């Protein structure tokens, strides 16, 4: 299957950069400590803030660091490359392929995320579990549900970044939009602070936005704030946004290819 090969290639591409991965792991771990100690200070002052106990809050912090690279919230991840290809006209090469652009990049991004979940997620999480008292599940199937939720988080994150990248067909330089989108993802995913601790109205709206699918939902599945039917509702919420955003990306893509004016070249 072509797209499996693309995904495998995406995985191996990122796997070749070992020093970069090590540096990333180091950064994620250091930030994990910083966020964890901030949360300890906060939860000492306000126990059960947002309904989390301290162990759950710390689990949230380390889950955030573990998923940061895989969901490519800060930088564009593999999609920054697509944006650059549109800007400099290399996209012409991609359009000559008998393959669907969105599926191609989704496959490549899933491969990348797969590597970064293992390469940059496991170590920070393990370090966090060694130094702090985390609320990690004992049963394998909760871990399974978490991985499923993390996978959907990657798809939603891809769908959002794809929209930003395809917008470059109209914007010429989409880097401003990428920065705004990155900031929105950092805040509305719960990476800065869990969305549940925000005041009622705002917090509830924030939890309905697509970015909540990136961290808030998978973290809640892992740390046990979502159980039973709430897990299913969380997964449906993620899958729903994935479908809507991928469809939107597809619409934008066909509008873009219809009007294609490949820059340069």
Partner 1 sequence: MSGAVGEALIEVADVEKVFSVRRKAGRLRRVRQEVRAVEGLTFTVPRGEMVGYIGPNGAGKSTTIKMLTGILTPSGGRLRVAGLDPSRERTRLARRIGVVFGQRTTLWWDLPLKDSYELVRRMYRVPDAAYRANRERCVELLDLGPLLDVPVRQLSLGQRMRGDIAAALLHDPEVLYLDEPTIGLDVISKAKVREFLREVNTERGTTVLLTTHDLTDIEQLCRRVMVIDHGRLVYDGRLDGLRAAGEGERTLVVDLERELPPIDGLPGARTVKVAGPRQWLAFPAGQSAAPLVAAVAARYPLVDLSIREPDIEDVIARLYAGGVPGVAAPPAAGR
Chain residues binding partner 1 by CB under 8 A are: 1-2, 5-6, 9, 12-13, 16-17, 89-90, 92-93, 95-99, 258, 260-262, 265
CA–CA gap between residue 33 and residue 257 (Å, rounded): 46
Judged by beta carbon, residue 20 or residue 244, the one nearer partner 1 is 20
Judged by beta carbon, residue 171 or residue 209, the one nearer partner 1 is 171
User: Cβ of residue 180: shortest distance to partner 1, in angstroms?
Assistant: 24
Judged by beta carbon, residue 7 or residue 156, the one nearer partner 1 is 7
User: Cβ of residue 222: shortest distance to partner 1, in angstroms?
Assistant: 32
Please give the distance of CA 201 from its chain centroid, rounded to a whole number.
25
User: Cβ of residue 49: shortest distance to partner 1, in angstroms?
Assistant: 44
For 69, the token pair is 């690279």
User: Cβ of residue 262: shortest distance to partner 1, in angstroms?
Assistant: 6
Judged by beta carbon, residue 63 or residue 168, the one nearer partner 1 is 168
Which letter, b or e, does each residue of 217-242 get, where b requires 16 or more Cβ atoms within 10 Å of its Cβ?
A: bbbbbbbbbbeeeebeebbebbbebb
Are 43 and 37 spatial neighbours (Cβ–Cβ below 8 Å)? no
For 6, the token pair is 């693309």
Judged by beta carbon, residue 51 or residue 89, the one nearer partner 1 is 89
User: Cβ of residue 89: shortest distance to partner 1, in angstroms?
Assistant: 7
| Interior angle at CA 43, CA 42 and CA 44, nearest 5 | 90
Judged by beta carbon, residue 2 or residue 244, the one nearer partner 1 is 2
Are 174 and 84 spatial neighbours (Cβ–Cβ below 8 Å)? no
Judged by beta carbon, residue 8 or residue 40, the one nearer partner 1 is 8
Q: Which long-range contacts (CB under 8 A, 24 or more apart) does 31-35 make?
A: 31/65, 32/61, 32/62, 32/65, 32/124, 32/127, 32/128, 33/131, 35/61, 35/64, 35/65
Q: First and final CA of the chain: distance in angstroms?
A: 32
CA–CA gap between residue 136 and residue 48 (Å, rounded): 17
User: Cβ of residue 261: shortest distance to partner 1, in angstroms?
Assistant: 7
Please give the distance of CA 236 from its chain centroid, rounded to a whole number.
17
User: Cβ of residue 265: shortest distance to partner 1, in angstroms?
Assistant: 6
């Amino acid at each position: 299957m072509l797209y499996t090969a693309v995904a495998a290639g995406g995985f191996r591409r990122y796997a070749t950069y070992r020093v970069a991965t090590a540096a990333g792991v180091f950064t994620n771990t250091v930030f994990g400590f910083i966020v964890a100690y901030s949360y300890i200070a906060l939860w000492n002052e306000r126990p059960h803030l947002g309904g989390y106990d301290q162990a759950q809050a710390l689990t949230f912090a380390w889950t955030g660091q573990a998923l940061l690279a895989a969901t490519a919230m800060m930088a564009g991840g593999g999609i920054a490359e697509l944006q650059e290809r549109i800007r400099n006209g290399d996209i012409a090469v991609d359009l000559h392929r008998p393959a669907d652009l969105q599926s191609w990049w989704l496959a490549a991004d899933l491969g990348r995320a797969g590597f970064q979940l293992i390469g940059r997620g496991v170590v920070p999480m393990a370090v966090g579990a060694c130094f702090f008292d985390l609320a990690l599940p004992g049963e394998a199937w909760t871990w399974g549900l978490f991985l499923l939720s993390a996978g959907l988080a990657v798809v939603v994150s891809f769908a959002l970044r794809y929209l930003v990248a395809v917008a470059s067909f109209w914007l010429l330089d989409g880097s401003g939009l990428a920065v705004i989108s990155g900031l929105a993802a950092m805040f509305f995913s719960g990476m800065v602070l869990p969305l549940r601790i925000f005041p009622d109205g705002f917090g509830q709206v924030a939890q309905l936005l697509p970015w909540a699918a990136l961290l808030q939902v998978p973290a809640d599945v892992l740390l046990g704030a979502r159980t039973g039917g709430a897990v299913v509702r969380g997964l449906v919420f993620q899958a729903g946004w994935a479908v809507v955003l991928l469809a939107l990306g597809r619409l934008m893509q066909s509008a873009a290819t219809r009007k294609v004016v490949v820059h340069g070249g």
